[in-house]
A and B are shown apart, each in its own frame.
With several copies, the nearest count.
Chain A
């Protein structure tokens, strides 16, 4: 752990990773504290926790996290110099591919993989529009990680008063709306709404999902999601980014 700074109600933490391979946007890492992992609520955390890469700067990997339970709490309270176990990069990230204009849609801790992706797209001179939703203006501090974001908040304290998917719908209804590729990451309900919108409109869409993970590298078969065609895929090796059109639905947890 080389840094741990607040960003609104979130923390941005950094880890030295001089030897690691360069991760792609949408890939993730499994993190755990080097010491005293455990002993929190219910005796947890025990397993490592998954976090999308926010950015790689020099030899440093950055992550943004929200303290929602024993694992994120422990990571959020580590200090620079404390040991951090980092496994990754893992999984299949976004595949920017074509030249259609990219619509990035995110919310809350779904922002990090979009930051990465926006960096990549901008480097390839692909135009992006970023729409991001938060609970409130304080949470919206995380929007500053993106270039030119349009913000929605649940309480209307900043930006659009409502859901980010309303911004998305408006954007898709507007000029060139049918010429977009959607890249989304956020809470399950938001992703499910995005999935429906894009399936209805037959728009290409890539969703970065979450699921409980024990290992992150395909060992446990614990992180599966259902496919529309039947059967399951492991989110940690076949995802976390999946084509919206192959999914049965975005699972609630």
Chain B
């Protein structure tokens, strides 16, 4: 029973933000889904202050051992989320983590404040893989900028705050340390790696509607392990590790690298019950094979 920021979770497997829509899944698979919910906590797709349509299609490109996506964070906006989605998500049998993103301090503050008031929201995850208006870089690529934003919003709520780091940076451990220092209760990583695909047969034309996208899946698993290990050895707050997990063994490796929870993303696309399968594999591994622990 992992304890994560005060939440008692049934097992260490949660979903990666934006890779499982519990409301749509309920429509597709019926109420049995809730009875055997694949994750020990549910992480929402990223919510922004104003509604977003997302990027123009195509939004998907299949890569060797992975997926490149340029979804572009379509969502109903804060109000729509609170009015329409939150009641539905509150019915889930597991705690709800709401993921948010803003491109200015003010936006982030408004999101954190509004969600912090809702007791249905067990924790807030802040997605910092968004271009920062001041620097042009992703907010999460720059330790100083991220610290500035966090110090401004941290006092606005008592709800645990998870910072979802971007992997597209030279030194993720320094960024994580800055987040911890500025008051983050946990960090999560990795988000997708920036990538691009070309339209078959059309010279120089990108395939994705947004030109570039983010790579996920087994292709990024070893990058995730390196970043999670680097971050976990640098910060004291709990780490949610993710990136390319497809099995209990993969999850265990992230736990051994220092993660407290492991998120499953792209693997759910092929197997919607992957979370449940992986948490089962994980307990089997723990039960059957006492691992030699030496670091």
Q: Do chains A and B touch in the complex (CB under 8 A)?
A: yes
Q: Does A142 contact B (CB under 8 A)?
A: no
Q: Is A251's CB under 8 angstroms from B57's CB?
A: yes
Q: Does A176 contact B (CB under 8 A)?
A: no
Residues in chain A near residue B69, CB distance under 8 A: 214, 220, 222
| Distance A18 CA – B53 CA, assembled complex (angstroms) | 39
Give min CB distance, A36 to chain B, whole Å. Answer: 13
Give min CB distance, B2 to chain A, whole Å. Answer: 24
Q: Is A220's CB under 8 angstroms from B19's CB?
A: yes
By beta carbon, the residue of chain A nearest B56 is: A226
Residues in chain A near residue B57, CB distance under 8 A: 211, 222, 224-226, 232, 251
Q: Is A38's CB under 8 angstroms from B65's CB?
A: yes
Contacting A at CB under 8 A, from B230-269, are: 246, 266, 268-269
By beta carbon, the residue of chain B nearest A214 is: B269
Known contacts A214-B67, A221-B74, A224-B54: A48-B28 contact under CB 8 Å: no
Q: Is B269's CB under 8 angstroms from A219's CB?
A: yes
| Distance A234 CA – B54 CA, assembled complex (angstroms) | 12
Contacting A at CB under 8 A, from B60-105, are: 60-67, 69, 71, 74
- The 8 Å CB contact of A46, one of B23, B24, B29, B63, is B63
Residues in chain A near residue B58, CB distance under 8 A: 212, 253
Q: Is B28's CB under 8 angstroms from A47's CB?
A: no
Q: Does B39 contact A (CB under 8 A)?
A: no
Residues of A in contact with B, size category:
35 or more
Q: Does A215 contact B (CB under 8 A)?
A: yes
Q: Is B21's CB under 8 angstroms from A218's CB?
A: yes
Residues in chain A near residue B270, CB distance under 8 A: 30, 32, 37, 47-48, 85
Residues in chain B near residue A237, CB distance under 8 A: 24, 27-28
Known contacts A212-B60, A218-B28: A231-B269 contact under CB 8 Å: no
Q: Is A222's CB under 8 angstroms from B60's CB?
A: yes
Q: Tell me which of B54, B64, B71 has the highest count of chain A C-beta atoms within 10 A of its own C-beta.
A: B64
By beta carbon, the residue of chain A nearest B15 is: A219
By beta carbon, the residue of chain B nearest A212 is: B60
Residues in chain B near residue A97, CB distance under 8 A: none
By beta carbon, the residue of chain B nearest A43 is: B64
Q: How many of B's residues come within 8 Å of A, CB to CB? A: 36
Q: Does A90 contact B (CB under 8 A)?
A: yes
Give min CB distance, B207 to chain A, whole Å. Answer: 9
Known contacts A214-B67, A220-B269, A224-B54: A46-B62 contact under CB 8 Å: yes
Known contacts A32-B270, A219-B24, A232-B53: A44-B74 contact under CB 8 Å: no
Residues in chain B near residue A231, CB distance under 8 A: 53
Contacting A at CB under 8 A, from B30-54, are: 45, 53-54
Residues in chain A near residue B45, CB distance under 8 A: 221
Give min CB distance, A47 to chain B, whole Å. Answer: 6
Q: Is A46's CB under 8 angstroms from B66's CB?
A: yes
By beta carbon, the residue of chain B nearest A48 is: B270
By beta carbon, the residue of chain A nearest B45 is: A221
By beta carbon, the residue of chain B nearest A42 is: B64
Q: Is B67's CB under 8 angstroms from A46's CB?
A: yes
By beta carbon, the residue of chain A nearest B26 is: A218
| Distance A110 CA – B40 CA, assembled complex (angstroms) | 40
Contacting B at CB under 8 A, from A16-59, are: 30, 32, 37-38, 42-48
Q: Is A47's CB under 8 angstroms from B62's CB?
A: yes
**Chain B residues within CB distance 8 Å of chain A:** 18-21, 23-25, 27-29, 45, 53-54, 57-67, 69, 71, 74, 217-218, 246, 266, 268-272
10 cross-chain CB contacts under 8 A: A42-B64, A42-B246, A43-B218, A46-B67, A214-B60, A215-B269, A215-B272, A219-B269, A225-B57, A234-B24
**Chain A residues within CB distance 8 Å of chain B:** 30, 32, 37-38, 42-48, 85, 87, 90, 211-226, 231-232, 234, 237, 251, 253
Ranked nearest first, the 7 interchain pairs of A and B with the lowest CB-CB distance are A218-B24, A43-B64, A222-B60, A215-B269, A217-B28, A222-B59, A43-B65
10 additional A-B residue pairs with CB within 8 Å, beyond A215-B269, A219-B20, A237-B27: A42-B63, A42-B64, A43-B65, A212-B59, A213-B60, A214-B269, A218-B25, A221-B21, A221-B59, A234-B24
